[in-house]
């Protein structure tokens, strides 16, 4: 079965408790479960990983990218300043969709800037958990 790496950056382990107005009320586990359900429709397996540490995300990318056909990532705050994560994403040479639960264009000015987005085929924001479902569909369409 083809694999998609689903990555979550800092503080996303607190979903369900953390500012539901911006991030929704679902836990990270529930979002992962919904993503797994959608991926099964296309015969994809999801490998999920969350870390609050930039280096851990990069290490996981470097290990898992060789076994995956695509990546879905919510880099959290690393979105706005992690050129190291950008480089690691680019180095995978895989199709990547960046997802943000909140509408990053309607929040603080610094949140509207994504240094990781240029490594991605698309960016989805402001759709809460539905963004992850859309990302799976984008990848399936891209890989056709």
Q: Which residues are catalytic?
A: 23, 100
Per-position b or e across 75-90, b if 16+ CB within 10 A of its CB: bbebbbbbeebbebbe
What sign does the CA torsion over 125, 134, 71, 56 have? positive
Are 59 and 38 within 8 A, CB to CB?
Answer: no
- CA–CA separation, 24 and 96 (whole Å): 23
């Amino acid at each position: 079965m083809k694999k998609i790496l689903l990555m979550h950056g800092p503080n996303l382990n607190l979903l369900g408790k953390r500012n539901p107005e911006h991030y929704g009320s679902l836990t990270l586990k529930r979002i992962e479960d919904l993503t797994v359900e959608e991926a099964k429709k296309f015969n994809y397996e999801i490998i999920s990983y969350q870390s609050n540490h930039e280096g851990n995300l990069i290490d996981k990318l470097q290990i898992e990218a060789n076994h995956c056909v695509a990546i879905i990532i919510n880099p959290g705050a690393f979105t706005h300043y992690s050129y190291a994560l950008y480089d690691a994403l680019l180095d995978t040479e895989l199709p990547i969709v960046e997802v943000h639960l909140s509408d990053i264009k309607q929040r603080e000015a610094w949140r509207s800037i994504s240094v990781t987005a240029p490594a991605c085929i698309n960016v989805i924001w402001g759709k809460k958990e539905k963004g992850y479902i859309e990302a799976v569909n984008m990848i399936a369409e891209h890989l056709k």
